[in-house]
């Protein structure tokens, strides 16, 4: 058992939070000993009310001791030690706060090193215990000699095993900096202190000037050297100089480097994607110098022997320009299709989008070289380049994602959900847990608990907060609270939120205005889209015709009919006949390419939904009509995530709404680049959807 000792003196403003921070520990075998040092405020009354409000089992593990005289924090802690019955001793000041896993992590760390004394790093917080960003880190191990020049052990971070450390040594002397004196006495006995470099405590400190305290700090440390360590005057001067040097260097490191370490790590890791682009360009450079430049610099002759001029002669700058253009195209395509978002997308998605970007870049570059040559060039060079790049893309993406996961731990996540989705709260949590590389769901909480309780929970230093099914003023208030307290927020949007993603900005005098158009895809985009649909479907029909023929024969044999016809909804609420293979096996959707060629549907768009299914969905939510603002598609954005009405149970209303939201993302953020990316991923989408259907 861990005995937690908390001295109280005029702590009425904090004691409720202090008790709560102990109750919420993930390690449950503890006793809490509150020692009131004759407070002048109502600390005792507040503490009693808090204890009485708890359940009987929890309340039985909390004791409140009231001292008859005021003797200071050291004597109050010693009174708590007299009453402590646990093997382990932990101190907590009344105005400090623990992270929920403080005791559990320190105890595991203690057992790992077979240590008798451990402490952890901590953060500074403001008056409300909101972290300010300043962190004090502890060394991995500290001996008595090292401790004389480093006063980094904070009382609220300490955990002591009394089976290894004599409990008598834990009693504190009644002098200034009594805690430091105690740690020195323990270290002098031969026990080393092990430091866990994990921020587990918030040191609540108001934003006041500390300049007046520097002289007092020097005086206290001098007295410790002379009275506790029994050092000579010369040795005390030497150690106080070392102490000042360590304090100064620590402040410089914290302010200049360590407190920005996360930004530095993020910058370094994200540059892995840029390094990948450089490697891909290097492969292209090899092909350029080995294959294509020798061809381009040779004189050009026709098959009949006619001379068409000298070849291309480039100097260093010319070669650099060719390779820079290739890198620039690859960077632009990678940036726009999301293949540089390491850690945000799954490794498979990043690899696939990177391969797509490479495919387009190589096609554009190959066309560029043919224009330079004004003649056809052998395609096998660029094909070999692309093949090697694909292998590298798979390896490099896996490596980069591994590095990202190693550097960035998943964020401890609080999910706050609305009253309307109480039954679906566990499902929401499970979806986030599927991305265990990014999220670690610690708690789910209903907005029914009240806005004050929600804000209090948000301020308990989760890595991020997720809002789901909360809208209107309530959501605005929570977002405002989190933003003002430097808390990262993820919002699962409503359909109306997604509609706003298609707005355009304009200014009316001095008032900013967001214009939401009734149709987000411009006529120029529609013209380009139809051009791609026509020639793309024609090309795909030619390429897949053998597969379609085999599929029709197979369907005829097994289902009695080769083609199945289904009435589906299309743009503006009209209907069309969708054609698919009757047996529903691999390649079942290939006949829909003819529907694309005729103009009934597009290559990319929202999934075509059968008329009766659409009517059923619309009865539950009229907003499904929003999907019909554009043509349905052979494949689409939602299907790229494995979401399909065809694979979704009719009773699963929530999953159907998720598909609606994904379709609205596609419509409101429509771009030709997105269509091309989804078009190239069509084969992967078709096979994965088929696998899910079979499962």
pLDDT band at 567 (very low <50, low <70, confident <90, very high): very high
Distance CA 695, CA 693 (A): 5
Whether the per-residue pLDDT at 180 is higher than 70: the answer is: yes
Q: Give pLDDT, residue 235.
A: 77
Distance of CA 630 to the CA centre of its chain: 33
Three-class secondary structure of residue 9 per DSSP = coil
Q: What is the pLDDT of residues 50-90, one digit of tens each?
A: 999 999 899 999 999 999 998 888 999 999 999 999 999 99
Whether the per-residue pLDDT at 591 is higher than 60: the answer is: yes
For tokens 């150690």, name the residue: 239
For tokens 């002379």, name the residue: 226
Q: Give pLDDT, residue 686.
A: 42
For tokens 């979401």, name the residue: 643
Helices 380-407 and 347-373: crossing angle in degrees, nearest 10, is 150
Q: Which has more pLDDT, 653 or 606?
A: 606
* Beta strand pairing call for 2-8 and 30-36: parallel
Q: Are the CB atoms for 395 and 447 separated by under 8 Å?
A: no
**DSSP for 313-332, written as a single string:** ---HHHHHHHHHHHHHHHHH
Whether the per-residue pLDDT at 101 is higher than 70: the answer is: yes
Domain boundaries defined on the chain: 2-209, 265-371, 411-492, 523-694
Q: Give pLDDT, residue 508.
A: 60
Lowest-confidence region among 405-419, 453-467, 570-584, 667-681: 667-681
Q: Which has more pLDDT, 66 or 335?
A: 66
Across 613-631, average pLDDT: 89
Whether the per-residue pLDDT at 409 is higher than 50: the answer is: yes
Q: Give pLDDT, residue 254.
A: 52
pLDDT band at 210 (very low <50, low <70, confident <90, very high): very low
Q: Give pLDDT, residue 339.
A: 78
Whether the per-residue pLDDT at 236 is higher than 90: the answer is: no
Distance CA 343, CA 244 (A): 41
Distance CA 62, CA 429 (A): 33
- Tell whether pTM > 0.75: no
pLDDT band at 319 (very low <50, low <70, confident <90, very high): very high
Q: What is the pLDDT of residues 411-437, one digit of tens each?
A: 888 899 887 765 566 777 787 877 887
Beta carbons within 8 Å of 354's beta carbon, 6+ residues apart: 276, 334, 339, 393, 397
Region 2-209: CATH code: 3.90.550.10
Q: Which has more pLDDT, 280 or 453?
A: 280
Three-class secondary structure of residue 203 per DSSP = strand
Beta carbons within 8 Å of 302's beta carbon, 6+ residues apart: 308
Residue 312 φ/ψ, nearest 5 degrees: -80, 130
Identify the burial level of 229 via C-beta atoms within 10 angstroms of its C-beta, where 0-12 means exposed, 13-18 middle and 19 or more buried.
middle
Identify the burial level of 321 via C-beta atoms within 10 angstroms of its C-beta, where 0-12 means exposed, 13-18 middle and 19 or more buried.
exposed
Q: In angstroms, how far is the first alpha carbon of the chain from the final one?
A: 49
* Both structure tokens of 450: 């009240």
Distance CA 357, CA 336 (A): 9
Q: Are the CB atoms for 377 and 370 separated by under 8 Å?
A: yes
Q: Give pLDDT, residue 211.
A: 36
Q: Give pLDDT, residue 695.
A: 39
Whether the per-residue pLDDT at 550 is higher than 50: the answer is: yes
Whether the per-residue pLDDT at 666 is higher than 60: the answer is: yes
Q: Give pLDDT, residue 429.
A: 79
Q: Give pLDDT, residue 674.
A: 78
Q: Which has more pLDDT, 554 or 147?
A: 554
Q: Which has more pLDDT, 534 or 137?
A: 534
Q: Give pLDDT, residue 6.
A: 94
Spatial CA neighbour of 96 closest among 61, 132, 128, 53: 128
* Beta strand pairing call for 97-98 and 88-91: unpaired
Q: Are the CB atoms for 560 and 570 separated by under 8 Å?
A: no
Q: Give pLDDT, residue 484.
A: 75
Q: Give pLDDT, residue 62.
A: 94
Across 307-336, average pLDDT: 87
Whether the per-residue pLDDT at 24 is higher than 50: the answer is: yes
Whether the per-residue pLDDT at 255 is higher than 80: the answer is: no
Distance CA 7, CA 21 (A): 15
Looking at domain 411-492, its CATH superfamily turns out to be Response regulator (3.40.50.2300)
pLDDT band at 224 (very low <50, low <70, confident <90, very high): confident
Q: Which has more pLDDT, 365 or 622?
A: 365
The winner for highest mean pLDDT among 47-61, 296-310, 417-431, 474-488 is: 47-61
Q: Give pLDDT, residue 690.
A: 42
Q: Give pLDDT, residue 178.
A: 85
Q: Give pLDDT, residue 609.
A: 93
Distance CA 219, CA 201 (A): 27
* Largest Cα span, the chain: 114
Distances (CA, A) of 258 to 139, 346, 463: 14, 29, 18
Three-class secondary structure of residue 429 per DSSP = helix
């Amino acid at each position: 058992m861990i005995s937690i000792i908390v001295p109280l003196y005029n702590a009425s403003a904090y004691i409720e939070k202090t008790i709560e921070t102990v109750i919420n520990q993930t390690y449950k075998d503890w006793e809490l000993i509150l020692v009131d040092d004759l407070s002048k405020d109502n600390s005792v009354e507040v503490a009693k009310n808090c204890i009485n409000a708890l359940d009987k089992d929890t309340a039985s593990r909390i004791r409140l001791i009231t001292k008859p005289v005021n003797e200071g924090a050291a004597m109050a802690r010693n009174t708590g030690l007299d009453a402590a019955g646990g093997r382990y001793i932990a101190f907590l000041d009344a105005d400090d706060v623990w992270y929920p896993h403080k005791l559990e992590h320190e105890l595991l760390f203690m057992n790992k090193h077979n240590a008798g004394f451990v402490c952890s790093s901590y953060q500074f917080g403001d008056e409300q215990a909101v972290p300010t960003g300043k962190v004090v880190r502890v060394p991995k191990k500290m001996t008595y000699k090292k401790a004389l020049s480093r006063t980094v052990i904070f009382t609220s971070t300490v955990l002591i095993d009394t089976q290894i450390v004599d409990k008598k040594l834990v009693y504190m002397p009644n002098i200034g900096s009594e805690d430091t004196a105690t740690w020195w006495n323990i270290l002098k006995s031969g026990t080393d202190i092990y430091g866990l470099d994990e921020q587990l405590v918030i040191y609540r400190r108001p934003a006041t000037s500390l300049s007046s305290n520097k002289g007092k700090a020097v005086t206290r440390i001098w007295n410790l050297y002379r009275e506790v360590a029994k050092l000579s005057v010369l040795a005390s001067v030497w150690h106080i100089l070392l102490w000042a040097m360590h304090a100064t260097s620590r402040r410089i490191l914290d302010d200049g480097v360590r407190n920005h370490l996360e930004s530095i790590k993020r910058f370094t890791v994200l540059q892995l994607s840029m390094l990948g682009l450089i490697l891909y360009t290097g492969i292209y450079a090899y092909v350029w110098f080995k294959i294509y430049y020798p061809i381009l610099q040779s004189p050009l002759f026709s098959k009949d022997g006619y001379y068409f001029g000298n070849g291309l002669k480039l100097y260093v700058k010319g070669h650099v320009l060719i390779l820079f253009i290739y890198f620039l195209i690859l960077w632009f395509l990678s940036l726009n299709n999301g293949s540089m978002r390491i850690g945000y997308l799954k490794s498979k998605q990043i690899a696939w989008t990177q391969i797509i970007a490479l495919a387009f870049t190589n096609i554009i570059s190959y066309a560029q070289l043919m224009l330079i040559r004004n003649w056809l060039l052998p395609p096998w060079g660029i094909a070999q380049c692309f093949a090697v790049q694909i292998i590298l893309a798979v390896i490099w993406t896996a490596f980069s994602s591994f590095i990202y996961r190693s550097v960035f731990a998943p964020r401890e996540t609080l999910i706050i959900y609305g009253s309307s989705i109480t039954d679906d709260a566990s499902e929401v949590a499970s979806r986030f847990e599927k991305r265990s590389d990014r999220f670690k769901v610690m708690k789910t909480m209903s907005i029914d608990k009240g806005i004050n309780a929600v804000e209090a929970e948000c301020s308990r230093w989760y890595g991020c907060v997720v809002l789901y099914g909360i809208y209107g003023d309530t959501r605005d208030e929570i977002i405002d609270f989190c933003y003002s307290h430097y808390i990262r927020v993820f919002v699962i949007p409503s359909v109306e939120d997604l509609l706003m993603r298609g707005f355009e900005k304009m200014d009316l005098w001095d008032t900013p205005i967001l214009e939401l158009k009734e149709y987000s895809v411009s006529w120029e985009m529609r013209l380009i889209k139809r051009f791609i649909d026509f020639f793309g479907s024609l090309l795909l029909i030619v390429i897949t015709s053998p597969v379609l023929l085999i599929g029709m024969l197979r369907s005829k044999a097994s289902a009695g009919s080769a083609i199945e016809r289904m009435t589906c909804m299309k743009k503006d609420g009209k209907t069309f006949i969708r054609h698919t293979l009757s047996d529903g096996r691999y390649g079942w959707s290939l006949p829909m390419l003819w529907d694309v060629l005729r103009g009934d549907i597009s290559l990319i768009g929202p999934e075509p939904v059968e008329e009766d299914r659409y009517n059923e969905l619309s009865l539950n939510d009229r907003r499904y009509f929003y999907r019909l603002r554009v043509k349905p598609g052979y494949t689409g954005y939602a299907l790229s995530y494995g979401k399909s009405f065809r694979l979704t149970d009719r009773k699963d209303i929530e999953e159907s709404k998720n598909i609606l939201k994904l379709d609205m993302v596609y419509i409101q953020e429509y771009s030709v680049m997105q269509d091309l990316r989804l078009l190239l991923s069509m084969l992967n989408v078709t096979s994965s959807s088929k696998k899910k259907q079979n499962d």
